[in-house]
Amino acid sequence: MDNPYGPLRRHARASAFLALNLRYLLFLDDVSRALDLLNRRAEARAARAERRALAARIAPAFLDPATGLLRDAAEPVVPCSVSEMGHALAVLTRPPGLNVRALWRRFEAWRTAGRDAILPSPFGKFVTLEALGTLGCPDAVVQEILRCWGPMADAGSDTAWEGFDGRSSLCHGWAGVPIVALMRHVLRLDPRTGGQRRVGPVGGVDWIEARVAEPDHAPTP
């Protein structure tokens, strides 16, 4: 997929954008599942074929041989930049030719070393927490929440801010993604069925507990 914003960034040509293509893979996953549920098998197969074709192009187009990381823009005239969101999306989509677990470790080492990396907003951190959960790292999920959202609590805030720096809205719904991550990847609670669970120690926290009310209707399959 092409990036229509390339000219706005003063590139001679538009450039294929990593996160845009990887998000499209997730979209095609949803489309194929929906078409299967509707018994539209031929269209579902076409969506999966399109996904395979695009996924096969990710590593050849975006893998930077110098760093072993994914670059944000495929066009070589665009200076190489590395983003957390791009690597988290790669974990979720698993393009062929990439060992996504090793790729994520390389990205974490890059970030830990203080190298230049584009970090997401609280909204974008949803993808990071999903990637850590997918890799089976509940400790890392909790540690990421403490590192990023902990300063909000330390500041005495009883709401989740739109930005980590607190310079924008100090109450924003999309910043509440830790709730989703804790339910899905740490406590393993399903809001469709309800329940209560306590886990710990995890991620440097002695324990985490939550209760989800049982729904008043049967969950939809």
Q: pLDDT by residue (tens digit) across 110-139?
A: 999 999 999 998 989 999 999 999 999 999
pLDDT at 11: 46
Query: Which of 25-39, 132-146, 148-162 is least confident?
Result: 148-162
Over 80: is that where the pLDDT of 10 sits?
A: no
Model confidence pLDDT, tens digit, residues 42-83: 999 999 999 999 999 999 999 999 999 999 988 887 888 999
CA–CA distance, 98 with 85 (Å, rounded to integer):
16
Cα–Cα distances in angstroms (integers) from residue 125 to residues 146, 171, 200, in the given order: 13, 16, 23
- In 3D space, the residue among 21, 95, 102 whose CA is nearest the CA of residue 69 turns out to be 102
Residue 97 reports pLDDT greater than 80: yes
Model-level pTM?
0.89
Partner residues linked to 212 by β-bridges: 195
45 alpha carbon, distance to own chain's centre: 26
More confident residue, 12 or 162: 162
Q: Which amino acid is at 90?
A: A
Contacts of 66 (CB under 8 A, 6+ apart): 80
